[in-house]
Amino acid sequence: MVKRQLPNPQELLQLMQFKAPTLNPTDRRLEKALTIADLRHIAKRRTPRAPFDYTDGSAEGEISLARARQAFQDVEFHPSILRNVPEVDTSTTVLGGTSSMPFGIAPTGFTRMMQTEGEIAGSGAAGAAGIPFTLSTLGTTSIEDVKAANPRGRNWFQLYVLRDRSISYGLVERAAKAGFDTLFFTVDTPVAGARLRDKRAGFSIPPQLTLSTVINAIPRPAWWINFLTTPTLEFASLTSTGGTVGDLIEQAMDPTISFEDLETIRAMWPGKIMVKGVQTLEDAKLLADTGIDGIVLSNHGGRQLDRAPIPFHLLPSVVQELGADMEIHLDTGIMNGADIVASVALGADFALVGRAYLYGLMAGGRRGVDKTISILRSEIERTMKLLEVATVDELNPSHVTQLSRLQPIAKPVADAAEAMTAGKPKTVPANRPARTAKA
């Protein structure tokens, strides 16, 4: 039998130390968020359907995004033991400068539509955390205002080569003058992907008041109050070019973009230049001789070509071939700091985070972005400590195994074509019987 006694009043007092309530509702919500998925849940409750779906969704059946996220889940870590690693250093060198962590904020368009603080919140939070911020050509804060919000931090600029090339050249000159140190030349948007969620939600820029949006707005008054009482939503760096928002979107997609455009921009830009949107090893090899500083393996967050290659799967082969020649960055599907650690272990120099940043922004403005960065930082630090590596440079392929779900089941068509050119018979894939001649 357990011996029982009357409760000790002093022990009861120690147990009755209640936490002071958090009075600010935004802080109260963010305190409960432990993961990026938690921030997404808060964002969905507070943001109208159309802008939330624009952020959350991807192209057509959203297969590319689902596969990218699954690829990070299909990772097996291999921790070391007894290495005496009480503290870790998450800092790294990227594109000639420093970053406190091996990730930065990716370029996102229409950002003030998700939450009115937009790029000001993103760039300010990035600067405070010591990581780079990337402004999109289709951003809703100007180049100059982002620089003012993040005057001592690292600012990067993502460039779409518009149909009117003079507009793109002007943006390049403005970004250079403002002190942006890196340009992301984007190559994966010859035309717009089919964003079916946007069409079903009645998405438009700027948002339009309809019966559906009014009903959807009733439980989300803060978003609409902010939207209606702050400056007009527009592509801030393109306001001097004229035309409607729709016209500017159409301008940004140009299927005639070519290597000649890359050469022209490379000659104009005084800083580092990356090509964003590389999706094959063959194209990565072609770019290695163009004088660029690196590439971003990306399928545009799954928002362009559905069923596109998974950047995380492509990473090891590109690093093996080109990792000594140029920097290799990666985006798409990152929802956890462990995803970033796995990418660096397999050879990525840096990762870019888009949706995770926007979930935080929608959940709580600047404080929400700070929370996103804090969550990712803690996940990176914890994963490194559990792997028992003290610095980012110590991460290597021995720490990670990519578990496979998707396996090619037939030789690529190019191989078959080469065989036919060489006069060899075309082989029949093992999973398909040979066709018999018709009578």
Residues 6+ apart with CB under 8 A from 67: 310, 333, 406
Q: What are the residues whose beta carbons fall under 8 Å from the beta carbon of 191, sequence distance 6 or more?
A: 253, 255
Burial of 199 (0-12, 13-18, 19+ CB in 10 A): exposed
What residues have CB less than 8 Å from 224, skipping those under 6 apart? Answer: 48, 217
Query: Which residues lie closer than 8 Å to 119 by C-beta, 6 or more apart?
Result: 111, 112, 133, 135, 139, 140, 141, 145, 146, 149
**Gap between the Cα atoms of 412 and 149, Å rounded:** 49
Q: Which residue is listed with tokens 């830009």?
A: 269
Residues 6+ apart with CB under 8 A from 239: 142
Tell me whether residue 260 is exposed, middle or buried, using C-beta atoms within 10 angstroms of its C-beta: 0 to 12, 13 to 18, 19 or more.
Answer: exposed
- The answer for residues whose C-beta is within 8 angstroms of residue 438's C-beta and 6 or more apart is none
Stated length of the chain: 439
Contact criterion met (CB below 8 Å) for 351 and 344: yes
Distant-in-sequence, close-in-space partners of 181: CB < 8 Å, separation ≥ 6: 95, 96, 97, 154, 155, 156, 271, 272
Residues 384/89, Cβ–Cβ less than 8 Å: no
Q: What does the angle CA 96 – CA 102 – CA 105 come to, to the nearest 5 degrees?
A: 90
User: Is 300 considered catalytic here?
Assistant: yes
Q: Give the helix/strand (H/E) hosting 43.
A: helix 36-46
| Identified catalytic residue from 41, 300, 313, 399 | 300
Cite the active site residues.
Answer: 300
